[in-house]
Chain A
Amino acid sequence: MLVGATSHSPTGSRGFMERGFLLLVVLMFLEGTVFPLGAASSPDINNYTFPKKAFPVLSLDYGHIQMPFEISLWVLLASLMKLGFHLIPRLSGIVPESCLLIVVGLLVGGLIKLAGEEVPPVLDSKLFFLCLLPPIILDAGYFLPIRPFMENIGTILMFAVIGTLWNAFFVGGLLFAVCQIEGTHLSQVELLPCLLFGSIISAVDPVAVLAVFEEIHINELLHILVFGESLLNDAVTVVLYHLFEEYSGAGEVTLMDAFLGVICFLIVSLGGVAVGAIYGILAAFTSRFTSHTRVIEPLFVFVYSYMAYLSAEMFHLSGIMALIACGAVTRPYVEANISHKSHTTIKYFLKMWSSVSETLIFIFLGVATVAGPHAWNWTFVSVTVILCLVSRVIGVVGLTFIINKFRIVKLTTKDQFIVAYGGLRGAIAFSLGYLLDKDHFPMRTMFLTAIITEIFFTVFVQGMTIKPLVDLLAVKKKQEAKRSINEEIHTQFLDHLLTGIEDICGHYGHHHWKDKLNRFNKKYIKKCLIAGERYKEPQLIAFYHKMEFKQAIELVESGGGVKMPAAMPLQVSMQNIQPKKQPPMAADRALPQFTKNREEEIRKILRSNLQKTRQRLRSYNRHTLVADPYEDGWSEYMLKKQRMIELEKKVSNYLTVPAAPSDSPTMRRARLASDPNAFYTIKAPPGNVPTIQVELASPQSPDSVNLVDEFSKKGGSSQKNTDDRKEEQGRMMKPPSAGKGGKGEEEEEEEEGENKNPGLLRCLSDPGPSNEDEEDEPFLP
């Protein structure tokens, strides 16, 4: 400012000098301020005769951003690797992803070592347990298929608790015995550290199980057995770990300690579940009030769940069980409250995070292997690997023998084999080993080496061979078909029937209690936790609406019914199942009868248009439609209008919860009038036909406009309202020329479908983890 002022002064040479002088002053002023900053970074400030540095235009300051940058690099590496694997077609079929990622980790670790740098301790226990593990477990818990889980809970608990205990003691004990043998030079390893090692290595790891089982698609029962076991054995592992770690110093464990251990186990597991459930209910309750701030809805689910995990970890309860409980409790209530988009957001964020986490974990495993330090002892390592396998097999076979006495659907030998073979170890074991204190456990490095070897063995050998073995043994695979409405109706019917039979026999069995729990849930809990009137909605209706909605989306995706996917070859419409009514007596009808030819013509036109209508009518939104082909087209038109309102209402209801406010009158009229089949009738209301313009410019309901905008942006044309397919056909309506109108419509529709398809398909295409049929199951069906 000062400089500027002086430069405008009218004086001549004196002004020049003044300017220069002032310029100098300003520069010195500036440098004076810069210097202290520079002085802060350089300690020698004793002289003011700094050589005048050029003002740094471009400088490198890596230290400033090092931490986040490296994290981002790792995440980027993980994601690129995942991308890369799927581009190589044959590889992902043979080798499970987890193996490839470990190899990548090994390579990266090797590269870092070659470069002379120290390999960062990436699988730091804190990082692992607080950042990498929770997303995976939350994802698993939120989408846990509750019904099969609860049906098999007894079996799962047996495997998780007793199986893990058996494994821990068997491996630990026998390892100690082996260590005592003369030739192994391992006599310094005492009993308690061995048992500790046994408890670390015996737990089946959920991350590894998820990673491998996801690719082999076995039937639901086996999946839930192994997976459920891997989740629930966390409590046992936590207790055993702390117990042995505490007392390894003291050298002995008394009976009292063992008893306390059992109590501790109960507290750890039940406490973890309780903490999770409390946070889950809080989350559900909060979501009841989020109808005005839909954008942050997903955040509540994530934050509450994470806090549940942290709270449980704070008390040394089982964080994993807390997270599972929170996810499972939250889901049915939150889903009834939040909007459809939030639901999608939650789903995709969870999948994304868990996927990245999993990838990172495996890569870090590889890196940590390279980092070492290692202490290889042939005896110890090989005995560990063998013992783990043996103990797992014995454990599973023995437990199944007992369990089968109480199960209705017994576990066959094939099932037992898969359960035993699928017991993979993973990064949790490594992290627990890493946590061990170096001073208390001098053989820590040997333990770590053995753990890593075991992990490698299970992931590589068992992981790679399980898929061909599954095929070889012809184990039943996962059913791919979606649940149909008939199945849903009959499942519910069966539930009630069996409850009734139990009541008649006076036997208070499973169904009785399940029914009671359901009723309690409906009466009290749902009322508190679900916003608005939706808590009253019975499950069958919710299911039906969901299907309807999906159907509508599918039809939109497939181009408005023109290009029907081959999988839906049905051409059965309401006409076919409605009992025919007798046409009323001729005398009653005030309308003129048509001649035979006219009838034929009308019927042909009807048929050619009903073809599309029929395909559209496939969606589950039927009204009682008396499709009497003799009736006048007018009443058909009226019925179709009614149906359109219904469809529109329903679809908009599920895009925005609660139901969207009504549209502007113009929109409504446009929609109602856009009936393609009305044109051919003589009695078609003349007023409507010319006024069909889909007025998308006019204000729509605020929520549904978002969906439309998404589509319109990608669809290329701004005149598509995907809320109601019929509208786009309405747009093509022209004043009828009887007989030809039908064909004209068809052509236009085809054209329309062609233009629209790529855009819509692209934006609607769902490349992410699909086939999540389980997620559709309500909490307590």
Chain B
Amino acid sequence: MSSRTNRWRKTVSLEQINNLNKRFRQLSSNKETLSREDLASIPDLDNNPIRLQIINAFFDKRNLSQSEVGIVQEIGFEEFLMVLTHFQPAAMDITEDNREKLRRTKLRFLFNMHDTDGNGIITLEEYRQAVEELLSKAGTIAPETVKAIADAAMLDVASTTRGKMEPDEFYEGITFEHFLQILKTLDIETTMHVRFLNLDTANMRCGK
């Protein structure tokens, strides 16, 4: 395993890495790399309204390394792990600084999922798209309602972050800082985690 995986050993146990490796092999039908179709073929994901966005998140370069923007076609096991480490819980004795860093990492992941064109801002269109996806499995929804909800949400962000605005000022979109601000009550560092990546428990069940 490369140096990156070695670094993660401190945060994810060896057993968990092995289990994930097994899962990776299973998904990629024993190939070295995973492609979109492999992920899309998981039957459980069919019911998920945001499955496309989740799948895209795995292939988004921004989640794989800090500086690049764009999409890759296939990912290796390291990249797979890298995406999954966004879902680690915070350790009990985490310092305030690290907690803040963890929050930012996780929220950055969420932000990247919404910001599909990669320009660092979630525009009204992108937000509308996100809401539409969220409601996509819920039967026939009138498009006006979707727009109304997205618009209301956007207004909320604008008003809490920018305050008073002149009629001809234009609010470009949600920047990452604004995003942090509006979601600060959600306690992301504790809610956004998948249990088996927990540091303490070593019991893992890979279904199927």
Give A contacts to B, CB under 8 Å. 404-406, 408-410, 479, 481, 484-487, 489-494, 496-512, 515, 519, 536, 538, 540-541, 544, 547, 569-580, 607, 610, 618, 620-624, 629
> With the chains together, A540 CA to B153 CA distance in Å?
12
Given contacts A507-B207, A536-B139, 8 further A-B contacts (CB under 8 A): A485-B156, A492-B134, A497-B54, A501-B194, A512-B44, A541-B145, A624-B144, A629-B168
B26 touches A506 (CB 8 A): yes
Residues of A within 8 A of B17 (CB): none
Bound form: Cα–Cα A479–B186 in Å: 11
B182 interface contact, C-beta 8 A: yes
Whether the pair A485, B149 counts as a contact (CB closer than 8 A) is yes
The answer to whether B163 and A569 have CB atoms under 8 Å apart is yes
| Residue B51 CB within 8 A of the other chain | yes
Instruction: Please name the residue on chain A nearest to B23 by beta carbon.
Output: A506
Min CB–CB distance B92 → chain A (angstroms) = 5
Bound-state CA distance A511–B154 (Å) is: 28
* B194/A487 in contact, CB under 8 A: no
Contacts of A490 in B (CB 8 A): 110, 183, 186
Instruction: List residues of chain B with CB within 8 A of the CB of A610.
Output: 167
Query: In the complex, how many angstroms separate the beta carbon of B17 from the nearest chain A beta carbon?
Result: 12
On whether A515 and B196 interact (CB within 8 A), knowing A577-B158, A607-B167, the answer reads no
Interchain CB contact under 8 A, A505 and B165: no
The yes or no answer to B71 lying at the interface (CB within 8 A) is no
Of B51, B110, B156, B171, which is in contact with the most chain A CB atoms at under 10 Å from its CB?
B156
A117 to chain B, nearest CB (A): 57
Contact B183 A486 (CB under 8 A): yes
Q: A500-B54, A505-B196, A576-B169 are in contact. Are A493 and B87 (CB under 8 A)?
A: no
Please state if A503 and B44 are interface contacts (CB–CB under 8 Å). Answer: yes
* Mask of B122-163 contacts with A, CB within 8 angstroms, 1/0: 011000001100110011010011011101111111110011
What are the residues of chain B within 8 A of A577 when measuring CB–CB?
124, 151, 154-155, 158, 170-171
Cα–Cα distance between A618 and B152 once the two chains are bound (Å): 8
Knowing A569-B163, A572-B158, A607-B167 are in contact, say whether A620-B148 is a contact too (CB < 8 A): yes
Q: Report the bound CA distance from A489 to B164 in whole Å.
A: 24
Write the nearest CB–CB distance from A568 to chain B, whole angstroms. Answer: 8
Are A622 and B148 in contact, with the CB atoms below 8 A? yes
Task: Looking at the assembled complex, report how far the CB atom of B42 sits from the nearest CB atom of chain A, in whole angstroms.
Answer: 6
CB<8 Å pairs between A and B, sample of 6: A505-B23, A505-B194, A507-B195, A509-B195, A510-B195, A572-B165
> Is there contact, CB below 8 Å, between A572 and B164?
yes
Q: Which residues of B contact A (CB under 8 A)?
A: 20, 23, 26-27, 39, 42, 44-45, 47-51, 54, 58, 84, 87, 89, 92, 110, 113, 123-124, 130-131, 134-135, 138-139, 141, 144-145, 147-149, 151-159, 162-165, 167-171, 182-183, 185-186, 190-196, 198, 200-201, 204-208
A488 to chain B, nearest CB (A): 9
Are A501 and B167 CB-contacts (below 8 A) given A493-B134, A506-B208?
no
Please, which residues of chain B bring their CB within 8 A of the CB of A519?
47
CB distance from B91 to the nearest CB of A (A): 10
Pair B20/A576 contact, Cβ less than 8 Å:
no
Given contacts A507-B207, A622-B148, contact A408 B159 (CB under 8 A): no
* Chain A residue with the shortest CB-CB distance to B208: A506
Closest to A575 in B: B167
Chain B residues closer than 8 Å to A622, beta-carbon distance: 147-148, 151-152, 155
The one of A479, A500, A544, A607 in contact with B185, judged by C-beta atoms closer than 8 angstroms, is A479
A172 to chain B, nearest CB (A): 35
Structural contact, B50 and A500, CB atoms closer than 8 A:
yes
A571 to B23, CA, bound (A): 52
Q: Which residues of A contact B47 (CB under 8 A)?
A: 515, 519
Cβ-defined contact, B158 with A410, below 8 A: no
State whether A496 touches B49 (Cβ < 8 A).
Answer: yes
Cα distance, A496 to B162, chains bound together (Å)? 30
Residues of chain B within 8 A of A481, CB atoms compared: 185
- Name the residue in A504, A571, A622 with the highest tally of chain B Cβ atoms < 10 Å from its Cβ: A504
Within 8 Å CB of A544, what residues of B? 145, 148-149, 152
